[in-house]
Amino acid sequence: MKKTIFVTVIMLLVMNISVISFSQTSDNVNIPVYLSIPSYAVIESVDKESLEYDLDLSSPENKSEEVKVKIVANTAFELYVEFDAEESSFSEETRALLELLNSSYNYSIDSNKSSSGVVEKTVQVGFNFQQALDNNPEIRELLLKSGEYNGKVGNFVFTVSPAV
């Protein structure tokens, strides 16, 4: 009987030791993984090739055009619009026109914002000729003296960049 009890105790000890060793080998180890995705914002397309303007000083129109700008971004972004006049195409006589264009262009952007995906912004771009001519009668006189000008005067430039 003592032998049976001794064998039973030994077997229980062996089972306890094996359970303890198995529980120690099944511990979890957590290894952190970090993923970095660079932010980007790019213009995918603009729906206008060019904008045509006629300025008649007897009745200057304040014409603006709607331009759809499609932007792909994975972060918050800003859309900037500026008018880039081609200064090399202006002679001394037409410098007044260059000054008028630089002082009268305007734009407005819709308030639709998105932090990721494809976003279509509507931009109103144009020139407020009447206000610029009313504020500066000298420009009006210089334009009348220089006569008719037919040719490309510049570009509207659209730029996107991640918001700061």
What pLDDT shows up at residue 142?
84
Number of Cβ within 10 Å of residue 7's Cβ equals 10
What predicted TM-score, i.e. pTM, was given to this entire model? 0.70
Whether 74 contacts 114, CB under 8 Å: no
Residue 9 within any structural domain of the chain = no
Residue 140 within any structural domain of the chain = yes
- Region 66-93: mean pLDDT is 86
Whether 133 contacts 139, CB under 8 Å: yes
Residue 10 within any structural domain of the chain = no
Helix (H) or strand (E) holding 130: helix 129-135
Whether 75 contacts 162, CB under 8 Å: yes
Residue 4 within any structural domain of the chain = no
pLDDT over 60 at 21, yes or no: no
Helix (H) or strand (E) holding 30: none
Residue 91 within any structural domain of the chain = yes
Residue 65 within any structural domain of the chain = yes
Whether 79 contacts 125, CB under 8 Å: no
Provide Rg for the chain, Cα atoms: 36
Mean pLDDT of the chain: 83
Tally of domains in the chain: 1
Domain hosting 148: range is: 27-162
Residue 142 contacts by C-beta under 8 Å, 6 or more apart in sequence? 95, 96
- Region 55-74: mean pLDDT is 87
pLDDT over 60 at 65, yes or no: yes
Task: Please write the tens of the pLDDT for every residue from 121-157.
Answer: 999 999 998 888 888 888 888 888 888 878 888 899 9
